[in-house]
Amino acid sequence: MADHFPGEIHIGGPIPRAVLRKLICAAVNEGVSIEGYGGPDASDDDLQKAFQEGSIVRLYADQARYGMFADLEGFLVKRRIHFDRFSEAFCEFSAEAVFYRGGEEAIILPADQSGHLLLRFEDIVGILDDSALDDGGKVGAIRRLVARPETEPLAPIRFI
């Protein structure tokens, strides 16, 4: 049996106008709200209006399966539509932030309950213990770990 807990997904960037109808159907099928946690499920018309505003569309679900939107996220990745997703921690599941900017796959990073990104201790120690890197190389590797281009702010929707 799957655990269900809060998750939110933000959609932005370039979106092919030809897939908007299917995107709205995929979002409706996830049972999302555009009014925040605890809000009513969004209708086709609500989502159509939200996407037409040309800003970032923020969708919420109190009871997302594992805090994810599996079908919607798959739809977005397949069509290279940018998104960010945050899932709260629940029982043995840690909070996570997911970023997708049109590449082969989304990047998943640990986060705290406020959505702030966390660094894995093992990643930092691995860099510091890497004898193949000089001090400058270690600083560069840590900088790349901290300032990932995939985590740059999501751009507003732009239909293409």
Model pLDDT for residues 58-79, shown as the tens digit of each residue:
999 988 888 889 999 999 999 9
- Tokens 């798959």, residue? 74
Cβ neighbours of 12 (radius 10 Å): 21
The average pLDDT across 28-35 equals 92
In whole angstroms, what is the distance from residue 87 CA to residue 106 CA? Answer: 14
Which residue type sits at 107? I
3-state secondary structure of 27: helix
Contacts of 81 (CB under 8 A, 6+ apart): 11, 13, 14, 15, 19, 23, 75, 102
CA distance to 10, 113, 116, per residue, from 98 (Å):
10, 14, 12
Number of separate domains in the chain: 1
- pLDDT of res. 23: 97
pTM of the entire predicted model: 0.84
Instruction: Give residue 109's domain range.
Output: 4-159
CA distance 108 to 129: 24
